[in-house]
Each structure stands twice: as structure tokens, then as C-alpha cells.
Amino acid sequence: MDNKIKYAIIAVVVIIIAIIAASSMLGNSSDNDPTHIVLTVPGHTGEPETGFNPLTGWGNGHLNFNPLVQSTLFGSDENGSFVNDLATDYSISDDRLKWTVHIRDDVKFTNNETLKASDVAFTFNEAKVSDGELDLTNLKEAKAIDDKTVEFTLEKPQSTFIYDLRYVGIVPEKDYNNETYGANPIGSGPYKLKQWDKGQQAIFEYNENYYGKEPYFKQITMVFPEEDNVLQLVKSGEIDVAEVPISAYNETVDGYNLVEFQSPRAQGFSLPYLPDTGLKTADAGSPIGNNVTSDPAIRKALNIGINREEIVKSVYKGFGKAEYTGVDSLPFANEQAKVTDNQPDEAKKILE
């Protein structure tokens, strides 16, 4: 008798037009150990191309993301508030250019080496010049003062630097190689990489050296399927948790329950504000401007002409709610910034 509980989850994602529901299904894989979980990793997170290397993008830019293998200076609690992880406290100089962080002295990497402030300094200095997603151009230098103290010097004051300290997973200076680390990561987080079948799955197992609270799940298997194959994996019983594409929102699978979570994250599309002057992007050679969308009237007409509620109903099958500013559900939302949409006649007047 399988002792795992099956679930189906709808993870609600906010977009500018609507809050979408991304269906996820939690179910039972062939592994009946309740402390083992198998899940699909959706396209918006996806399999990291360079492996599980925080200096090249693993975990960067996701406030509540846990890089699993690595520890970060700060973490996030269930409410999204910052909490200490490796850090025990921090201070900022009067001129706001120096951030001093004190770290724990009881942390070991999975190679059994003690994590020191020099590893933290190395990580941030390396991340600054690595081809990663995080912009650390304002970091002038990170320097270890002693084994438990690291000092960050900024080019100019930056109140949001705490986010940078939150995102970057710490790597060991002694054993770091930018070319090989992603496939064989050494870290001090709650898990270590057991196996990576590139393009298919990655298996993480509990790190016995971990200094924090022992997690319930002792093994996490991330599966990286094509979107069209997710529902079939669920039906086969090979997956415990799967985010299902929009096309499957109204599907039912025996033994699975549908659970809905709401996310405050806004997703949407933006239109070029600049006219096409011939400038192109350096990488793909795409035009930087657009002579149609650079006209404010076009953007204003679109904003009030579309029917967000109808999009929620027809495209997202009712799993969501309209979003008007991108931050409607956040504490700093401004009701006065919302527009009244579904006004095609008013939109036409703007375009006259």
C-alpha cells in the first residue's frame, strides 16, 4: 500500500493581464519512502544550463528560492521576510558604502572543510565577474576581515544590497572551478547533489553536515520534462509534484487532489517605448525600438481596451484574477493606479 498522499496543485501566478493558475500535481512515484519526493521543475525555473552553480545563475533573482546545495548569508521565511542563514548579524557604515556581515563558525562544506569569511568574499568577488544573472557592478570589493567577518565595499550607496546578499549561494574558494563546479557542486546547504542526468533529472540527498533544521524530505528528485509530457508523467504515477500546463487545468487524475496557491508575482509583457532608430541588440541583432508601440496612444488604448476578466476566463479557464498594475496584491499597491479596462470605444477615441 502506497503511503504517499497524492495531490494536484494549482500554483496561481500573477500576470499583468491576469493572475494565471499553473496547475501542479503532487502524487506518488514508484519510490514509496514518504521522505523522498519527485517533482517536475517548470519552464520558468527550469534545468540550469550550467548546472547548480550560483555564480552563473542558479537561484539568482528568486526571493524565496533555496539553492538546496549552497547556503546564503540570508534567507526568507514563510512570509518572505529576511532572516539570518549564514549571517549572525550585519551593520552598515554611516556613509552607506560598507556593509559588514558576521557569519557562523560552525558550518562545513560537503567536502568537510570549514566555511570561512574568505569563502564568502571569494564568492562575491567571483560572482561580480562571472557570467551570471545577478548585477553586482555596484560591488567594489568583498574582503574577509577575519574568519567570521566579511566587509563589502560599494561604489555608491545601495539600500537594496541586502537582496544581493540574500541571493548568492556561497562556494568554497579552495575547490571552486567555474567550468566544472555546476556539475559537481560543493556547498553547505541542506542537500548535496547525488546524481544529475542532464536533460532528464537531478537527485539531491540530505547533507548530514547541515547546520540548520533537518528537512523532512531526505531526497528530492527534480525532473525536467517537456511541457507536453507533464500530464502523462502524472498519469503514469511517476511524479509526486508536477506543474501542469494551462491546457490541462480542467483535467482530473485518479488519486490526485487539486490545491491552489496564490503568488504575488506579476508577469506580463512590455512594449518598446523608443522609436526604431536603427539600433540593435548586441547579441541577437534585434531592433531596440518600435515605431508603433513607441506611440503612447497605442499603449494607452491597449491598456483600457482589453478585457482582463475575459482573458482569465477563456485562456486560464477561470484559475486566476485580473491584475491591473503588476503589484495589486502587494502591500505597496496603489488603488489609484488601476485602470478601468474593457472600454473598446474609449480606446478607439484615443487612437483617433
- Predicted local confidence at residue 69, as pLDDT: 95
Q: What is the pLDDT of residues 283-310, one digit of tens each?
A: 788 888 999 999 999 999 999 999 999 9
Task: Using alpha carbons, select from 165, 178, 172, 197 the residue that is nearest to residue 70.
Answer: 172
Euclidean distance between CA atoms 90 and 215, whole angstroms: 26
Tens digit of pLDDT for each residue in 19-32?
Answer: 333 344 444 555 67
Of 189, 200, 198, give the one whose Cα is nearest residue 108: 189
Please state, in angstroms and rounded to a whole number, the distance separating the CA atoms of residues 152 and 42: 35
All cell numbers assigned to 31: 519510490
What pLDDT score does 11 carry?
A: 37
Share of the chain above pLDDT 90, in %: 51
**For residue 97, which amino acid is it?**
L
Calculate ∠ Cα 90-95-101, nearest 5°.
15
- The pTM score is 0.76
Residue ranges of domains in the chain: 271-306+326-351
Which ranges of 18-147 does DSSP label H, i.e. alpha helix? 117-129
Q: Are 29 and 239 in contact (CB under 8 A)?
A: yes
Task: Compute the average pLDDT of residues 328-350.
Answer: 90
Q: Sheet containing 139-146: give its strands across.
A: 87-92, 98-103, 149-154, 139-146
pLDDT for residue 225 is more than 80: yes
- State the amino acid at position 264 in one-letter form: P
DSSP 192-239: EEEEEETTTEEEEEE-TT--SPPPS-SEEEEE---GGGHHHHHHHT--
